[in-house]
Amino acid sequence: MKNRSLVSIDDLTTGEILDILDMATGFEKDPTRQLLDNKVIATLFFEPSTRTRLSFESAISRLGGKIIGFTDASSSSVSKGESLNDTIKTVNNYSDLIVMRHPVEGSARYASEIADIPVVNAGDGANQHPTQTLLDLYSIRKTQGTLDNLNIFIVGDLKYGRTVHSLIMAMSRWNTTFNFISPDELMIPKEYKIYLDNLGLKYYEHTDFTDIISRADIIYMTRVQKERFSDPIEYEKVKNVYVLRNTMLKNTKDNLRILHPLPRVNEIHTDVDVNKKAYYFEQALNGVYTRQAILCTLLGLK
Ligand code: CP
């Protein structure tokens, strides 16, 4: 898989996904092999990020690579009116791989068609976030011992949550039962329901999950994506619609783990943090190993 971009999780076969997870397991045991010696990775973040950017940069640094890039479009020549086309053509000349986050859906695919080097989508608007999904799969497999036949509850902003969209597409490969919990305003978009229908997979939609929480293997909480709302009043109506509290976890399965791509706002009360079923900070750590595996895979490095 040399010089291939990763724009959508569906750019990877199931075998390639499992190879990346296995390679990430190796990096968890030894994250400091100098595999990126002499490699320059560009991290272009046109939108804010903590985990994605810093875990990529930690992954690169630990493997001996060099990082160039920007954390804010206002510090780049985009602020002078430069197009994405010209930015990518320029950065293509300075680096071996581009990691890009951008607010516009489809921007990563566009960049991948311009660049000669691999482009990794670090989130394009409300569309996809495939590297988050790979670390989510790593976290699910590590905590459940399998990816097969799990009952996953996805809670919150299913409309704008790009991590949700990529996760659904990925988990559909392992006979997952999906429970989608959202307010009516933030329901899962029709295209993802059609995607699951075409695969013959079961999914259930709810507006509350307190009565069914005992069935969950994974609860994947998500933040309401304030930045995607055009009307702040609409955001205010739904911003605190779900708050997971420790008391709600009393009668849940032993194997249940709580995941969240983070950042969290109010949707997981801090009293959950001490529960052994809370896994979101370990999940974020898994991002380093998984992104090391993604970089090496896309650069054709063993
Ligand atoms: N999960 C995630 O994408 O977090 P950041 O926005 O902090 O990168």
9-128+288-298 and 131-284 in the same fold: yes
pLDDT(3) > 90: no
Pocket test for ligand 1, best of 43, 44, 45, 52 (most atoms within 8 A of CB): 52
Q: Tokens at residue 213, please?
A: 């929480």
Domain boundaries, the chain: 9-128+288-298, 131-284
Architecture of domain 131-284: 3-Layer(aba) Sandwich (3.40)
What is the number of the ligand 1 atom nearest to the C-alpha of 262?
Answer: 1
Q: What is the residue-averaged pLDDT of the chain? A: 96
The radius of gyration computed from the CA coordinates of the chain, to the nearest angstrom, equals 19
What CATH fold (topology level) applies to the domain 9-128+288-298? Rossmann fold (3.40.50)
132 lines ligand 1 (CB under 6 A): yes
Name the residue among 206, 221, 224 with its Cα closest to residue 272: 221
Q: What is the pLDDT of residue 2?
A: 40
Q: Distance between CA atoms of 181 and 278, rounded to whole angstroms? A: 19
52 lines ligand 1 (CB under 6 A): yes
- Using a 10 angstrom Cβ sphere, with 0-12 exposed, 13-18 middle and 19 or more buried, the burial of residue 119 is buried
Q: What is the mean pLDDT of residues 58-82?
A: 96
What is the number of the ligand 1 atom nearest to the C-alpha of 101?
Answer: 8
49 lines ligand 1 (CB under 6 A): yes
Closest residue CA from atom 6 of ligand 1: 49
Q: What is the mean pLDDT of residues 6-15?
A: 97
Q: Where are the beta strands (DSSP E) in 64-169?
A: 66-70, 97-102, 119-124, 151-155
Q: Give the model's confidence band at 155: pLDDT under 50 very low, under 70 low, under 90 confident, else very high.
A: very high
Closest residue CA from atom 4 of ligand 1: 51
263 lines ligand 1 (CB under 6 A): yes
Q: What is the pLDDT of residue 302?
A: 80
Residue 243, classed as helix, strand or coil, is coil
Percent of the chain with pLDDT over 90: 98
Report the phi/psi class of residue 17: left, alpha or beta, with left for phi > 0 and alpha for psi in -120 to 50.
alpha
Pocket test for ligand 1, best of 57, 124, 132, 226 (most atoms within 8 A of CB): 132
Name the residue among 55, 66, 63, 54 with its Cα closest to residue 30: 63
Pocket test for ligand 1, best of 45, 51, 53, 286 (most atoms within 8 A of CB): 51
pLDDT tens-place string over residues 275-289: 999 999 999 999 999
Core vs surface per residue 19-46: b (16+ CB within 10 A) or e? ebbebbeebbeeeeeebbeebbbbbbbb
| 113 contacts 89 by C-beta, under 8 angstroms | no
pLDDT tens-place string over residues 214-239: 999 999 999 999 999 989 999 999 99
**CA-to-CA separations, 74 to 47, 81, 239, in angstroms, rounded:** 10, 10, 28
